[in-house]
Structure 1
Amino acid sequence: MSIQWFPGHMNAARKKAAESMEKTDLVIEVLDARLPEASCNPMIEQLRKHRQRPCLKILNKGDLADPVATKAWIEHYNRQKGVHAIALSCKKPADVAKIPALAMKLVPHRGTALKPLRMMIMGIPNVGKSTLMNALLKKRVAAVGDEPAVTKTQQRLYLGNNIVLIDTPGMLWPKIEHPTDGLMLAASHAIGVNAIIEEEVASFLADQLLVRYPQLLAARYGLATAGMDGIGVIEAIAQRRGFRLKGGDWDLEKAAHTLLQDYRSGALGRISLETPESREQLLASYQPEPSLGEPREEQEDLDEH
């Protein structure tokens, strides 16, 4: 299943962000620590690199992610030019309090009365930008919700200490190139529910967990995971929890929703769906779908022989 979700307001937000980037000194990009690259919007990368703006990458929900994978991601990003990465939870004030000082290190020539530091906060939907804004300002200035795309307009706010914050709506991009990225984003609740089929997303998530964290599935649901596939996990959860439809069949939809909620809330444990190594393998093996009427390279090679 290839998931795509790009509501009209996101295109308007992209255009507005491109205009505002010119008057911005630093981009704070909020990522999901459980899937940092899948939650990294390539449009944001293009905009900031075009304007040559440094980036503070916030791996939010660090308390939900696998600490070993998160450490590898931090090292990966900190090797990149003009980038500093930190993992934290935007719900923890002590974590958020570190951000202004880190931002000043990236742009040391700003932050005076004459030249305030202008920081643009960007990221995908439902990744925690509004929570971060509220924590930085120590008051509720941005709407926070459990559904993607709550914020739809740009805000300009003053943090004090000669720092200006520009909050932007959560943006995805017009075409999610890697199908697994769309599924990881859907599992992590960055995509609207109307654009996904929960059973398919949960089955994908279960397959990932069987490979990476079978012990967490076993501990949470009392499953013997050996030989199972993703669909089998959903069926087993329905059976273990007694989820039945009126006719007596197992309620797989409710079981799928339960698995997704347990992952999103951290009830399953600390989980990362990708690592720098798995990302490298994905990119190395990826072959884009051919356009209509355009054969795959392998087929062209066969035709030549």
Structure 2
Amino acid sequence: MNYQWYPGHMTKAKRMMQENIKLIDLIIEVVDARIPFSSRNPDIDELGKNKARLILLNKSDLADERENEKWAEYFKSKGYYVVKLNAKSGAGIKGVLPVVMESCKEKLERDRKRGIINRPIRAMVVGIPNVGKSTFINAFAGKACTKTGNKPGVTKGKQWIRINKNVELLDTPGILWPKFEDQSVGAKLAMVGSIKDEILNLEELSLELLKYLHESYEGVLTKRYDIEESENALSMLEQVAENRKCIQKGNELDYLKAANILLEEFRNGKIGKITLEKPEA
């Protein structure tokens, strides 16, 4: 299957970020903890060089905790600050503010020496669709958040959100979308639900997921679906269809229904805490 996802407003989004980057002290990048590499936009590192960087491993509750730790160490070794969280439940949100302050301590010290006090840290939040960027902003800002309006020099329509007297967020909805030439990146994005199911061959996608789960998390499929695991992904999908009574007219197995069940249960964590890529790879 060929995964294509390169919306035409990528260039426009990139230009918006370039225009606003000079106003920013910190880039907060939200990634999906199940695919921390594939859910990053490769342009951010170039656009955000010389800025403090914080990576939020969101949906970490759905990912393999051992791999969460490895990814956190990997990103820290590259000079990023890292926080693991689940924006939906609020787990880990309280840990973000201290790390934001820590990541910008050199900037705050420079300001103090220049006699600038009480200027808030300005952070831009970026993230591809479906990583939970909006959920994070709402959880971090809380009900007390006040939109402080457009600042001079900011493209019309951008919204500054005051978190407290020390931090302001620049909310840039959908500012960055990934471009991928590596089809395995596309497959992983599809598996976690970042590409619309309507444009995918879900049976084919489910076979790729089955193969990965058998190779990397042997036993989880047997536990969840009571099937005999093997190298034959189609055989495993057939067994899922049989055991979940996915039958269509003519008493034929309904592979699409079985694929939908598999993908949905993977995405909501019912199969287990799974990470689809590892830093050593």
Q: TM-score, normalised by structure 1?
A: 0.80
Deviation at 1:9, TM superposition (A): 3.9
Corresponding position: 1:124 with 2:101: no
* Match of residue 144 from structure 1: none
The aligned runs of 1:58-207 (5 Å cut-off) are 58-81=56-79, 83-108=80-105, 109-110=107-108, 114-139=118-143, 154-170=158-174, 171-174=176-179, 176-207=180-211
* Alpha-carbon separation, structure 1, partners of 2:177 and 2:253: 35
Give yes or no for contact 1:206–1:229 (8 Å, CA) kept in 2. Answer: no
Q: Tell me what 1:265 maps to.
A: 268
Change (3 A) 1:140 1:251: farther
Correspondence 1:13-92 to 2 at 5 A: 13-49=13-49, 52-81=50-79, 83-92=80-89
- Is 1:252 matched with 2:255? yes
- Paired AA for residue 129 in structure 1: K
- The whole-number CA distance in structure 2 between the counterparts of 1:238 and 1:271 is 22
Residue 236 (structure 2) aligned to one of 233, 236, 243: 233
Q: Counterpart of 1:104 in structure 2: which amino acid?
A: M
The answer (yes or no) to whether the contact 2:121–2:168 under 8 Å persists in 1 is yes
Paired residues, number = 262
Which residue in the other structure is 1:286 paired with?
A: none
Q: CA deviation at 1:19?
A: 1.4
CA deviations on 1:152-186 (whole Å, 9 max, x unpaired) are x8532111123111122343233x12211110010
Shift of 1:38: 1.1
Q: Give the 3 Å change call, closer, same or farther, for CA 230–54 of structure 1 in structure 2.
A: farther
Separation of aligned partners in 2, 1:216 and 1:154: 45
Are the equivalent residues in 2 in contact too, given 1:60–1:87 (CA < 8 A)?
yes
**How far apart are residue 94 of structure 1 and its match?**
4.7
Secondary structure (helix, strand or coil) at the match of 2:168 reads: strand
Q: What's 1:283 paired with? A: none
Q: TM-score, normalised by structure 2?
A: 0.87
Unmatched 5+ stretches in structure 2: 146-156
Structure 1 residues not aligned, in runs of 5+: 142-152, 279-305
- RMSD of Structure 2 on Structure 1 (CA): 2.0
C-alpha spacing 1:194/1:20, structure 2 compared with 1 (3 Å): farther
